[in-house]
Chain A
């Protein structure tokens, strides 16, 4: 007793993270925003997690076997897993989480994430019952999943919060209002302590977590903010240890002043302009689209408009995706003069002259950064080709609704953030029947290449098929890639364990605060 009293009292380790917009939900199957997913990875744990190098690592599962030529995965759970209320956590809980994800009644934004599982697609389309999902609990500690075709990235998919287990008694009792303090039961390294909407979400360490002995933080405070500048001020005042972003305009000063604290890393996201492929003249003239894509000086945009906080994009799939060699347009390495000359030739070949210029509308959702880029792009088109582009900005919901309808839109601003570290997370978006393909581009051969890749067990041959598909898209150019996103955080020097990575995942259990 006396010895215990003599021990120095350790201060509580509280990490304060700026987390972007207020999360819409803490229900792992209902959430969709980056800010909600960040918190979910601390509140819950899937069968796997993503390591700092991007590879899937065991999490709630201690390992897995692959059988049936890559179609059958059997996950072995760690012994003695518990929910944050101390109740035992079983294989059936994981199976139920996956069934809930694909059940259309759940209304899960990521319902299609696991369409590689047998029957998943049919269930989410209402053609089969959730119980028919090919996921089984083999006793209390084994989960088995049967896939339609070999899916080597399944372990990565299972690190996505949409596949995390939800505590069924709370769900039965509170319905969709279960994900709140006092009700939410998770299985992550932390549990939910407090949620002040627009104020903060505070997590406290979960003593029932299997790896609690190695968790260093006692609390994590997620602070929402819609205002990047305000978040930066709180960081500078010492009220936040990590920011979600940094203001673009202040990048040069921050780099000079807080260089060591600034973490910039390639991120799985693409900023692009899409063509409405159902409207003339752009839909019918690949040469014209190519000319418009060629004259955009991406290096200039990245350096001057983005203040270096992006990477020039000449391909559709961002660099760094596992097991894939990035593809790019064939003119990516050309000197600018040659690109401009070729663009002028293509523009003239499409029938446009200074007296009869191409007139297009470029639409974007109202935002200063989008406006700056659109202005620069329109100026480049005008200067080299004489294109008369009208910039139209619209409130986000109006913009999205019009973009989807494909009636008024000609060229539109868009972005895509990959859900998992695999090429398919990007290439699927341009497939003919993909609901997220707002360009309306339809290429049966592209679809066939994706379908062939989806059933290909050999990773090298699969990567080859996907690369061929990407090259097809880059030849047709239904989209103009402009830049790839980077993650950009300020992290105080005393935060330990922070490692920049492609998916920008930072698990609270890996972080700690340096003493003193």
Chain B
């Protein structure tokens, strides 16, 4: 088991290396640079800035310099947020996105799981149909519609919750963005679990269990739920990485200092180092969460355990 974990983690290193290399050269291939703006800089100033950020060196040298920094744990200075290091920006934003993402993930699992189970017990019944329609709405209505609607209703209309802002540890600030983030995931979890449960409940071993006279509850929770969770888990691995790294829409609508907007803004502003920083973070999270998914697979289904 430990050997398996080590092998998996070691195999991640070349993956991340390729990822960083590709991202580095792709970013540089994009036209325009970090200092281009509506206000053109005089050539001397542009040269001074280029020298300050080593942009006057050859691309290979810059690449090696970046890798050298990376080896020392330094993600470099941000181009856009002057005076801040990329590491600092990520360290400040990650806890915000992590707490929101974790909250949304738990909510998705709890609520989506409950809906999935209820629907699977009476497929095509009235409850299944109504919840199915609600879930479909959750999947198809995008965040940028849901989030402002939540604000209109709960912040401006009812005045129960703030319209935006983030005070660490304040539940009221986290509630609406968590719901907005969780809604599509609730829908996915519910649909995947319902489908998984229906498959499992039709399997021969469930028929056997029923024939043995086991109560329906035991059949559902002890025998059907475990295999039905497999597709949910494989969906939640990458979904969790997305939730943890934040959502640009939710962060903009609720004014949250999270990671999500860095993904978009850093690329638009040609903030080379910040792009690489968030790409590396996202890549690492995907690798780690895929690993966790594999472990959970093994825990849920003994046939899938690593030899």
Partners in one complex: yes
Q: Is residue A107 within 8 Å, beta carbon to beta carbon, of the partner chain?
A: yes
How far, in Å, is A7 (CB) from chain B's closest CB? 30
Smallest beta-carbon distance B94→chain A, Å: 12
Closest residue of chain A to B43 (Cβ to Cβ) is A435
B25 interface contact, C-beta 8 A: no
Contact call B255/A230, Cβ cutoff below 8 A = yes
**Which B residue's beta carbon lies closest to that of A237?**
B163
A224 to B164, CA, bound (A): 11
| A106 vs chain B, min Cβ distance (A) | 7
| Cross-chain contact B252 with A24 (CB below 8 angstroms) | no
A176 contacts B by Cβ under 8 Å:
yes
Q: How many residues on A have C-beta within 8 angstroms of the other chain's C-beta atoms?
A: 54
| CB of B152 within 8 Å of the partner chain | yes
B40 and A435 contact, CB distance less than 8 A: yes
Q: What mask results when residues 269 to 297 of chain B are scored 1 for a CB within 8 Å of chain A, else 0?
A: 11000000000000000000000000000
Query: Are the C-beta atoms of A435 and B148 separated by less than 8 Å?
Result: no
A445 to B40, CA, bound (A): 24
Q: Is B253 an interface residue (CB 8 A)?
A: yes
Q: Which of A139-147, A149-157, A321-329, A390-398 contacts B (4 or more CB under 8 A)?
A: A390-398
Report if A106-B36 is in contact (Cβ < 8 Å); known contacts: A30-B82, A180-B83: no
Residue A108 is within 8 A (CB to CB) of chain B in the complex: yes
Q: Please, which residues of chain B bring their CB within 8 A of the CB of A223? A: 165, 255
Is B128 at the interface (CB under 8 A from chain A)? no
Contact check, B44 vs A237: say whether CB atoms are below 8 A apart.
Answer: no
Point out the residue from B31, B81, B83 that lies within 8 Å of A22, measured CB to CB: B81
Stretch in B45-53, B200-208, B229-237 with 4+ CB within 8 Å of A: B45-53
B268 touches A124 (CB 8 A): no
- Please state if B164 and A233 are interface contacts (CB–CB under 8 Å): yes
Tell me, yes or no, whether B33 is within 8 Å of chain A by CB.
Answer: yes
Judge if A400 is at the interface, Cβ distance under 8 Å.
yes
Q: How many Å from the CB of A14 to the closest CB on chain B? A: 13
Instruction: Give the distance to chain A from B197, nearest Cβ to Cβ, in Å.
Output: 39
Option from A24, A198, A404 in Cβ contact (under 8 Å) with B257? A198
Pick the contact of A233: B80, B155, B159 (CB < 8 A): B155
A234 within 8 Å of B (CB atoms) = yes
Q: Is B193 an interface residue (CB 8 A)?
A: no
* Chain B 112-153: CB-based contact to A (< 8 A → 1; otherwise 0): 000000000000000000000000000000000000100110
Task: Determine whether A438 belongs to the interface, using a CB cutoff of 8 Å to chain B.
Answer: yes
Interface centre among B31, B33, B82, B257 (most CB of A within 10 A): B82
Tell me if B166 is interfacial: C-beta within 8 Å of chain A.
yes
CB neighbours (8 Å) of A32 from chain B are 37, 39
Q: What's the Cα separation between A197 and B151 when bound, in Å?
A: 23
Cα–Cα distance between A267 and B253 once the two chains are bound (Å) = 27
Is B41 located at the chain interface by the 8 A CB criterion? yes
A200–B42 alpha-carbon span in the complex (Å):
32
Q: B152: which of A107, A233, A396 is its contact (CB, 8 Å)?
A: A233
Interface contact B165-A401, CB-CB below 8 Å: no
Distance, CA A359 to CA B164, complexed state (A):
48
A198 touches B261 (CB 8 A): yes
Q: A196-B257, A401-B36 are in contact. Are A233 and B163 (CB under 8 A)?
A: yes
Is A402's CB within 8 Å of the partner chain B?
Answer: yes
Interface presence of A226 (CB below 8 A): yes
Q: Does B17 contact A (CB under 8 A)?
A: no
Q: Does B298 have its Cβ within 8 Å of any Cβ on chain A?
A: no
Q: In residues 35-85 of chain B, which contact A (Cβ within 8 Å)? A: 36-45, 47-49, 52, 80-84
Contact A397 B30 (CB under 8 A): yes
Alpha-carbon separation in the docked complex, A234 to B37 (Å): 29
Q: Is the CB of A106 within 8 A of B156?
A: no
Interface residue? A239 (CB, 8 A): yes
Interface residues of B in 150-208 (CB under 8 A from A): 151-152, 155-156, 159, 162-166
- In the complex, the number of residue pairs spanning A and B with C-beta atoms less than 8 Å apart equals 148
B209 proximity list for chain A (CB < 8 A): none
User: Which residues of chain A are near B251, meaning CB under 8 Å?
Assistant: 198
Instruction: Report Cα–Cα, A126/B48, bound state, in Å.
Output: 10
B84 CB contacts on chain A under 8 angstroms: 177, 180, 197
- Does the CB pair B257–A199 fall under 8 Å? yes
For window 328-381 of A, CB contacts with B under 8 Å fall at none
- Alpha-carbon distance A197/B159, docked complex (angstroms): 27
Knowing A198-B261, A239-B162, say if A414 contacts B255 (CB, 8 Å).
no
Q: Is the CB of A395 within 8 A of B268?
A: yes
Assembly CA distance A400 to B40 (angstroms): 9
Q: Report whether A199 and B42 are in contact in the complex, using a CB–CB cutoff of 8 Å.
A: no
Task: List chain A residues, Cβ under 8 A from B40.
Answer: 404, 435-436, 438
A234→B82 contact, CB < 8 A: no
A215 within 8 Å of B (CB atoms): no
Contact of A177 among B38, B83, B152 (CB under 8 A): B83
Query: B39 contacts which chain A residues (CB < 8 A)?
Result: 32, 109, 436
Is B24's beta carbon under 8 Å from chain A? Answer: no
Chain B 82-94 interface mask (CB, 8 Å, partner A; 1/0): 1110000100110
CA–CA, A107 to B93, complex, Å?
Answer: 28
A178 at the interface (CB under 8 A from B): yes
In the complex where A234-B165, A236-B163, A239-B163 touch, is A400 in contact with B257 (Cβ < 8 A)?
no
Cα–Cα distance between A180 and B92 once the two chains are bound (Å): 14
State the CA gap A25–B84 with chains docked (Å): 9
Give the residue name and chain of the A residue nearest to B53 (CB).
A107
Q: Which A residues lie within 8 Å of B92 (CB)?
A: 196-197
- In the complex, are the beta carbons of B33 and A227 less than 8 A apart? no
Query: What is the 8 Å Cβ interface bit string for chain A, positions 163-181, against chain B (1 contact, 0 not)?
Result: 0000000000000111110
User: B219-261: which residues lie under 8 A (CB-CB) from chain A?
Assistant: 251-258, 261
CA distance A178 to B84 in the complex (A): 10
B32 interfacial contact with A, CB 8 Å: yes
Residues of A within 8 A of B165 (CB): 199-200, 223, 234, 239
* A199 neighbours in B (Cβ, 8 Å): 165-166, 255-257
User: Cβ of B52 and Cβ of A107 under 8 Å apart?
Assistant: yes
Chain A residues near B52 (CB-CB < 8 A): 107, 176
Cβ contacts A437-450/B at 8 Å (1 or 0 each)? 01000000000000
Bound-complex Cα distance A492 to B32 (A) = 40
Most buried by A among B30, B39, B151, B155: B39
Is A111 among interface residues, defined by CB-CB distance under 8 A? Answer: yes
Are the C-beta atoms of B268 and A400 separated by less than 8 Å? no
Q: A436: nearest residue on chain B (CB-CB)? A: B40
Q: What residues of chain B lie closer than 8 Å to A70, measured between beta carbons? A: none
Tell me if A111 and B31 are in contact (CB < 8 A). no
**Which chain A residues lie closer than 8 Å to B261 at the CB level?**
198, 226
- List residues of chain B with CB within 8 A of the CB of A257: none
With a CB–CB cut-off of 8 A, which chain B residues contact A107?
Answer: 45, 48-49, 52
Interface residues of B (CB under 8 A from A): 30-33, 36-45, 47-49, 52, 80-84, 89, 92-93, 148, 151-152, 155-156, 159, 162-166, 251-258, 261, 265, 268-270
A-B pairs with beta carbons under 8 Å apart, 18 shown: A27-B83, A104-B47, A105-B48, A107-B45, A107-B52, A125-B42, A197-B81, A197-B93, A225-B252, A226-B265, A230-B163, A230-B252, A230-B254, A237-B162, A237-B164, A400-B32, A435-B40, A435-B43
* Other 11 A-B pairs with CB < 8 A, given A109-B45, A178-B83, A404-B40: A176-B52, A176-B82, A177-B84, A227-B252, A230-B163, A230-B252, A396-B268, A397-B268, A401-B31, A435-B43, A436-B40
**Interfacial residues, chain A to chain B (CB-CB below 8 A):** 22, 24-27, 30, 32, 104-109, 111-112, 124-126, 176-180, 196-200, 223-227, 229-230, 233-234, 236-237, 239, 395-398, 400-402, 404, 414-416, 435-436, 438
